[in-house]
Amino acid sequence: MGGKFDLQEYLTEGVERIVSEAVKATLRNPKESAFMLKFAASSRTASKKRRKAEDKGEHIPPFLIASITSKCNLHCAGCYSRCNHATVDSEPVRQLTDDEWQNVFDEAEELGISFILLAGGEPMLRRGVIEAAGKKQNILFPIFTNGTYLDEKYLELFDKCRNLIPVMSIEGSRELTDERRGAGIYDKLLANMDEIKKRGLIFGASVTVTTRNYREVTSQAFLDSLADKGCKVVIFVEYVPVTEESRELAPTDTEREFMQSEIIRLRETRPEMVYISFPGDEKSSGGCVAAGRGFFHINSHGGAEPCPFSPYSDINVIESSLKGAMNSPLFRKLRDEGYLLEDHDGGCILYEKRELVQQMING
């Protein structure tokens, strides 16, 4: 890149690549392709907004992760969200209402945020929030779901609102998926994929990458099976250990390098799908992009957190604007004092520094 690393430029190039790959991946689906071309135009407008803000000294990230509920019906083995009590079995006392999430989406659009990843818990338990998201056609909403709540009403909504894209969690084979997510989940996911394809809709797959499945989930057989079902995006999410016992599942530099080279190869050889890696190789991308550098996380009760893997917050979007939240004292400290750029073992730097992040809030 030469000279000073331009984060906004780097992120914009990343967004443009994702969008142009999405246009290519949907060319055989006229309705979807028409939406993607329209979204490409609004994404360029949003990039210009972010660039204008950057030139005034305000950094706006292109992505937001919104955990719209903390309730979930599954108990996946090693779930980081359950281990840090962000996910529970029943509704907590206070969660953002449908209208409060609508306000978040309105402000996000105003600022030039192009993608809001809806997560949970299980986000499809919040139909009202997803309906509100469907009205925001300038923002793409991947919905990270376990797939157990997909019904006729949702399929009709996804047909009407092409900016809503279900991204279903799958771990590779039936054996690996059911072992982690519960008996029968794999077959349910495949039935969902068939139903979505039958209606001419698109979907994505989210794969938690561990030392056990990293070769399988990049194999030709697995990716062929997804492509045949009509999958258009594969998001590889690196497993972050939540207990000492689960540390052996976390990819090491060896697995991470393998994944990065595979993703480069897949982008060149299999353009029918879009491939995204999270957190990806921070060492080659100017450091961690959490805490508002490339994205931040809003939890189900409105707390703005650096990242879902770093569940610490010093500000809430109920009392603050979105712009105020992304410039909270904690986020500013993490960005300005270089914590996100430090060298580390790989994976998630904020998870490694969780005690320090906790001290920043307390101290």
Q: How far apart are CA 341 and CA 289, in angstroms?
A: 9
pLDDT of residue 2: 44
Domains of the chain: 7-362 (3.20.20.70)
Query: Which range has the worst mean pLDDT, 65-69, 198-202, 281-285, 326-330?
Result: 281-285
Q: How far apart are CA 122 and CA 70, in angstroms?
A: 7
Put residue 81 in one of left, alpha, beta given phi > 0 → left and psi -120 to 50 → alpha.
alpha
Tokens of 257: 């390098």
What is the rounded average pLDDT of the residues 13-20? 88
What is the rounded average pLDDT of the residues 296-321? 92
Q: How far apart are CA 287 and CA 264, in angstroms?
A: 19
- pLDDT tens digits along 78-134: 676 766 666 676 666 689 999 999 999 999 999 999 999 999 889 999 999 999 999
Provide CB contacts within 8 A for 35, sequence distance 6+. Answer: 162, 163
Q: Is the pLDDT of residue 11 over 90?
A: no
pLDDT of residue 145: 96
- pLDDT tens digits along 196-253: 999 999 999 999 999 999 999 999 999 999 999 999 999 998 887 766 777 888 888 8
Q: Is the pLDDT of residue 338 over 50?
A: yes
Q: How far apart are CA 97 and CA 316, in angstroms?
A: 14
Alpha-helical regions (H) of the chain: 7-25, 30-55, 80-83, 98-111, 127-134, 152-160, 174-181, 185-198, 220-229, 253-269, 322-326, 329-336, 349-352, 354-362
Whose tokens are 């030392």? That residue is: 211
What are the helix and strand counts (H, E) for the chain? Answer: 14, 9
81 close to 310: Cβ distance less than 8 angstroms: no
Torsion from C-alpha of 144, 62, 5, 55, nearest 10 degrees: -170
Cα 355 to chain centroid, rounded:
24
Q: How far apart are CA 198 and CA 230, in angstroms?
A: 9
pLDDT of residue 48: 96
Tokens of 79: 């779930």
Question: For residue 345, what pLDDT band results from cuts at 50, 70 and 90?
Answer: low
pLDDT of residue 324: 94
Question: For residue 1, what pLDDT band results from cuts at 50, 70 and 90?
Answer: very low
Element (H, E) at 304: strand 304-305
pLDDT of residue 85: 65
